[in-house]
Amino acid sequence: MALPITEIKIKKLKMRLKHSFSTSFGSVKDKEFFLIEARDGEGNCGYGESVAFEVPWYTEETVKTVFHMMEDYLIPILQMECLTHPQDVSNIFKPIKRNHMAKAAIEGAIWDLYAKREGVSLARALGGERKKIEVGIAIGIQPTINELLHTIDQAFQEGYKRIKIKIKPGYDIKVLREVRWHFPSIPLMVDANSAYTLDDIEHLKQLDEFDLMMIEQPLSDDDIMDHAKLQSVIHTPVCLDESIHSLEDVKMAYELGSCRIINIKPGRVGGLTEAKRIHDYCKEKDIHVWCGGMLETGVGRAQNIALASLPQFTLPGDISSSSRYWEKDIIYPEIVARNGMIEVPDQPGIGYQLDEEKVDHFLEWEKVYQL
C-alpha cells in the first residue's frame, strides 16, 4: 500500500531552556530546532523534530546544515519517490552521505504519519512491547559540588531510576568521591563526551572504585579502536554514544570489544529505522542498549519513548519529564516521569497532541513544500 505524503512543512522554533546545560565541550541555553510536519491530504499529520545544535560540537551537524540538507536534497528526493513504508525513507536518502540528524527529523515525521494512518501507536509500529519505560536523568556540569549534590538529591527524590553526571579532566574523581560519599548506593553513571585520551588510562582506572553503571564516550568521537584498549583494562562498562552512527559501527564495536553498552539516539544514527536495526542486532548479541536524549522538546521525546519500548532497551534512558528542561512544552499532555517511569501512550502515532498556541509562540518562521 502506498504511503502518500502530500506536504512537508518545516517550522523553525527557538525555545529557552530553564537552566543552561553544560558538558565537557560547551553550554546550551537556547534550543533552536525544526519541527517537521508530514501530511497525507486525508487529515493526518505526523511530527518530527531535529536535534542538531547551533554549534557542531556534538557531531558535525548544525541547525543550519540540517535546513540546507532538508531543503536542497532530502525534500527533493521525497518529491521524486513514492513510499510504501517509513522504512523506505532511509533507503531513498542513502545517496546523501551522513547528515543523520537532517534525515532523522523528516523520517520521524513520516513514521508518526504512518502510525496515525494505521491507527496504531508509534511504539507498536516500531515493535515496542513495554507499557512503561524506566527513565533516568542527565545532569550537566554544575558550578559547585554543592549544587551537583543538591540536583542529584532532587532527582533521586523525584524517583529517577539512575543519575548520569557529566565529567571531564579536573571534574571527575574528586567529584565522584563526594557523590558516592553522600549517595553510596544510587545507580550512577558518567558521560565524558570524549574528554579523555588513552594517555589517561591510569587515571580512568580509578573510576572502577565507584561502582558505576557505565562510563559513556570517554575517548574520541571518531574512535572505536582505543575504546577497545580502554575496555580491556577497566571493569566499568564502556558505553558508546558519539562513536556510533550506524549498525556497521555497532558491529565493529562489538567485534573489537570496544564497549558493553550502546546509547541509541535516533538523530545520531539517521532515524528510527536505523535505531531499530541497531536494537535488533544488540538483542541478538545480548548488548544492553538505552535511549539517549538531545534536550528535545516533547515531540522528540515522544519518539524516544516509543523507541525505548522495544525489548532490548534494558537500561533507563535520558528521557526526563517535560518540566525538566521547559517552562512549558509544545505538546499536551506534557511528558511526566512518575517514580522514574513514563507510560508509553497507546493512542495512534506519538500519542501526544501539539499545543499549537505554544508552537506559534516559539515560531520564528515556516516553509511549506508540496510533494
Ligand X SMILES: O=C(O)CCC(=O)C1=CC=C[C@@H](O)C1C(=O)O
Nearest residue (CB) to Mg ion, 87 versus 258: 258
Q: Is 241 annotated as a binding residue?
A: yes
Nearest residue (CB) to ligand X, 112 versus 221: 221
Is 265 labeled as catalytic in the residue annotation? yes
Of the residues 166, 168, 276, 358, only one is catalytic, namely 166
Of the residues 31, 265, 276, 358, only one is catalytic, namely 265
Q: Pick the binder of ligand X from 193, 303, 312, 322 (CB under 6 A).
A: 193
Q: Is 211 annotated as a binding residue?
A: no
Under the binding rule (CB under 6 A), the answer on residue 241 touching ligand X is: yes
CB of 23 to ligand X, least distance (A): 4
Under the binding rule (CB under 5 A), the answer on residue 191 touching Mg ion is: yes
Under the binding rule (CB under 6 A), the answer on residue 295 touching ligand X is: yes
Is 12 labeled as catalytic in the residue annotation? no
Under the binding rule (CB under 6 A), the answer on residue 294 touching ligand X is: yes
Tell me the three cell numbers of residue 231. 575496555
Under the binding rule (CB under 6 A), the answer on residue 292 touching ligand X is: yes
**The one segment of 149-157, 222-230, 293-301, 334-342 that binds ligand X by CB under 6 A:** 293-301
Q: What are the C-alpha distances in Å from 338 to residues 52, 56, 98, 273, 323?
A: 28, 34, 37, 29, 12
CA dist 293 and 223 (Å) reads: 21
CB of 147 to ligand X, least distance (A): 17
Nearest residue (CB) to ligand X, 58 versus 171: 58
Under the binding rule (CB under 6 A), the answer on residue 321 touching ligand X is: no
Under the binding rule (CB under 6 A), the answer on residue 138 touching ligand X is: yes
CB of 74 to ligand X, least distance (A): 23
Q: Is 40 annotated as a binding residue?
A: no
Tell me the three cell numbers of residue 313. 532497551
Q: Could you tell me which of 274, 256, 181, 174 has the C-alpha nearest to residue 219?
A: 256
CA dist 225 and 301 (Å) reads: 32
**The one segment of 2-10, 115-123, 286-294, 338-346 that binds ligand X by CB under 6 A:** 286-294
Contact partner at residue 23 from Mg ion, ligand X, none, CB < 5 to 8 Å by partner kind: ligand X
Nearest residue (CB) to ligand X, 293 versus 316: 293
Under the binding rule (CB under 6 A), the answer on residue 274 touching ligand X is: no
CB of 333 to ligand X, least distance (A): 19
Q: Pick the binder of ligand X from 309, 320, 321, 322 (CB under 6 A).
A: 320
Near Mg ion in 239-258, by CB under 5 A: 241
With CB atoms as reference, the residue minimizing the distance to ligand X is 293
**The one segment of 178-186, 202-210, 233-241, 245-253 that binds Mg ion by CB under 5 A:** 233-241
- SS (HEC) of the chain: CCCCCCEEEEEEEEEEEEEEEEECCEEEEEEEEEEEEEECCCCCEEEEECCCCCCCCCCCCCHHHHHHHHHHHHHHHHHHCCCCCCHHHHHHCCCCCCCHHHHHHHHHHHHHHHHHHHCCEHHHHHCCCCCEEEECEEECCCCCHHHHHHHHHHHHHCCCCCEEEECECCECHHHHHHHHHHCCCCCEEEECCCCCCHHHHHHHHHHHHHCCCCEECCCCCCCCHHHHHHHHHCCCCEEECCCCCCHHHHHHHHHHCCCCEEEECHHHHCCHHHHHHHHHHHHHHCCEEEECCCCCCHHHHHHHHHHHCCCCECCCECCCCHHHHCCCCCEECCCCCECCEEECCCCCECCCEECHHHHHHHEEEEEEEEC
Under the binding rule (CB under 5 A), the answer on residue 318 touching Mg ion is: no
Nearest residue (CB) to ligand X, 138 versus 305: 138
Non-local (6+) Cβ contacts of 1 within 8 A are 84
Q: Mark the binding-site residues for Mg(2+), compressed into ranges.
A: 191, 216, 241
Catalytic residues: 166, 265
Query: Which residues would be at the binding site for Mg ion (CB under 5 A)?
Result: 191, 216, 241
Chain residues that interact with ligand X, rule: CB under 6 A = 23, 58, 138, 191, 193, 241, 292-295, 318, 320
